[in-house]
Copies of this chain bind each other. A is one copy, B any other.
Amino acid sequence: MSVIDVLCGRPLPSKDEQGERLGPLAGIPVFGLDALSSAAYGPEAALALLISLGAMGVAYIVPITVSIIVLLLIVYFSYRQTIAAYPQGGGSYTVAGKNLGPFAGLLAAAALMIDYVLTAAVGISAGVGALVSAIPSLEAHTLVLCLGILVLIILVNLRGARETGVAFMIPTYLFLGTLLTTIILGVVKSVAASGHPVPIVPPAPLHPVTAMVGAWLILKAFASGCTAMTGVEAVSNGVTAFREPVVKSAQRTLTVVIGFLMVLLAGIAYLCRAYQIGATEPGPGYQSVLSQLIAAVVGRNVFYYLTIAAILLVLSLSANTAFADFPRLCRLIAEDGYLPNPLAVRGRRLVYTAGIAVLGVLSGALLILFQGVTDRLIPLYAVGAFLAFTLSQAGMVAHWKRTGGPGSRIAMLVNGLGAIATTATVIIVTVTKFRSGAWITTLLIPAILLLMYSIRRHYDQISEQIADAPPIDAGEIGKPIVVMPMFYWNKVARMGVEVALALSPEVYLLHVETHDERLEFTDRWTELIAEPARRAGLPTPKLIVIQSPYRFVINPIVEHILNLQKTMPQRQIAVIIPELVEKHWYHYFLHNQRAKWLKAALLIKGNSKIIVISVPWYLRS
């Protein structure tokens, strides 16, 4: 068993694909973790903007959360319909592309790709950030922890989808279990106390009122709260990973994820108002909203620490959603020729290895660039997700318009409403976060579009040049002229000459004279080559000696071959390069690498009429 087998598991045959598919229970951790974990930062992001309103701000969290839940419901129904309409995997890329044209599809894809990279980076950095604020002594190792978790997630994903599901199930259900318990307990206590429960551990005192309520401020808070909705797209994009019946499995997963998310958001909002919990300023004395809430409801006991641990774990593992979905998205785009081919090839464990690698490298680079600090990454976030939502829902409107039939009007209305709501959201998010980072996303999207179009153009150009090949012209190519560079006379060179004579009656041996080396065999030419060839009834090879005053060896050979080709443009020239094959890589330094350099130079400067024949000589050890 090799190291790769241990790390990534044994290779799986293609026919195992069915077995690797997911049911709803395993699907939730894989595709729902991102959406669910955002309950841990969405409400806090909204409350953070309401700090200056004091107790009034805490009151406003309820209507804001209600709006978000309504938006979430609209998006939920939209994606339910999408899953049914596109059981082959209906992410925004497919839906927008099929209904609004390729440009809309690529725009959605570019937006989503950015969002997935950010999801991976932000998820990990937020998790590590929370861990570090719980155990401050780890702070110096923030980046190392981030990268360690990233490597772990990459390895788990390279093992394949099913094992990923199992590995992430425990923390996900621990997170849901503890948080729902807290919420139910809190609601019961609150109702029992007629809406004014007494906190076990009092939350941080609210900020004094320093601002007036304004529509703009409420809109900003709403936009920030919407970060809780990133990740909702994942299920519909990953439909093909689900077990048969595919549509039902995926829809059930989506229902469970959105249902839980709504309960979490509603519960958190209700309890925040009931217990008067607001966000605290970052810096010393900072305490997360969820930490205050849990402490207020259950106190700082073992259950508190278990819940916090589950939150930390789920936050950092939410990056996994990106790893489950990004490669699948890339594969769809690659199959349409807008991203490199290798992204469409399934690896040894039936996962899209190249996509996992690309996401790993990009999110790792982001983490290193921002030193694992979440705050600087957050403003780049959400623009992509909502742009994709909008395009997806606009695409569904066009879809219903085209298909028609019973119920299509209501479906169109739902998707139309969703499109309008998410359009408004994407505008608000972009405008309010523009200066603090959304401008980067705004620049990256056209850059990615440009890249995708130029990749597609490249493939089109190649296809134009090599596709539609006619049947072979068997008589066209005659025997090639064989050319072989000759440095010393030894068994390697001897074998090359023999191969040359077997392939063609026209053989040229090239020797470059540099004064640093002597052509030892010129004196023995007749004995070694000419006479045996004559005896076998073969034409004698020609010896060509090239002077090289500057001691260059590769260039004179290549130039001679190119000139030869020019004088006989119709003839194929086969260059024989005898090569010593070493047993060990470290022997590389013991020999000049002429064979390799010569091959590379011929490949770069040559043309289709010049073919290269490697004749290996294997050393016994």
> CB within 8 Å of B: which residues of A?
11-15, 340-342, 345-348, 455, 458-459, 461-462, 465-467, 469-480, 489-495, 497-499, 501-503, 514-516, 527-529, 531-533, 535-536, 538, 549-552, 572, 574, 579-581, 587, 589-592, 599, 603, 606-608, 610-620
- Could you tell me if A590 and B549 are in contact, using CB atoms closer than 8 angstroms? no
A586 to chain B: closest CB distance in Å?
A: 10
- Could you tell me if A614 and B599 are in contact, using CB atoms closer than 8 angstroms? yes
Indicate whether A474 sits within 8 Å of B532 (C-beta atoms), given known contacts A459-B590, A551-B346.
yes
- Could you tell me if A490 and B472 are in contact, using CB atoms closer than 8 angstroms? no
Complex contacts, A538 vs chain B, CB 8 Å: 474
- Could you tell me if B498 and A477 are in contact, using CB atoms closer than 8 angstroms? yes
C-alpha spacing A533/B474, complex, angstroms: 5
6 closest A-B pairs by CB: A474-B536, A13-B549, A477-B502, A466-B490, A466-B491, A469-B494
- Could you tell me if A590 and B458 are in contact, using CB atoms closer than 8 angstroms? yes
Complex contacts, A579 vs chain B, CB 8 Å: 603
A87 to chain B: closest CB distance in Å?
A: 20
Q: Which residue of B lies closest to A462 (CB)?
A: B619
Complex contacts, A11 vs chain B, CB 8 Å: 550, 552
Indicate whether A607 sits within 8 Å of B599 (C-beta atoms), given known contacts A462-B580, A466-B492, A613-B574.
no
Partner of A458, one of B473, B574, B587: B587
**Which one of A13, A471, A473 has the highest number of Cβ atoms from chain B below 10 Å of its Cβ?**
A471
A497 to chain B: closest CB distance in Å?
A: 5
- Could you tell me if A516 and B346 are in contact, using CB atoms closer than 8 angstroms? yes
Complex contacts, A603 vs chain B, CB 8 Å: 579, 581, 614, 616
C-alpha spacing A342/B588, complex, angstroms: 11
- Could you tell me if A502 and B479 are in contact, using CB atoms closer than 8 angstroms? yes
C-alpha spacing A572/B493, complex, angstroms: 16
Q: Which residue of B lies closest to A588 (CB)?
A: B340
Indicate whether A616 sits within 8 Å of B608 (C-beta atoms), given known contacts A477-B502, A497-B472, A502-B479.
yes
Complex contacts, A479 vs chain B, CB 8 Å: 502
A50 to chain B: closest CB distance in Å?
A: 47
- A466-B617, A469-B490, A613-B614 known; 14 other A-B pairs, CB under 8 Å? A11-B550, A14-B514, A15-B549, A341-B591, A345-B592, A346-B551, A348-B550, A348-B551, A465-B620, A476-B498, A495-B608, A499-B572, A603-B614, A607-B618
C-alpha spacing A611/B503, complex, angstroms: 12
C-alpha spacing A470/B589, complex, angstroms: 28
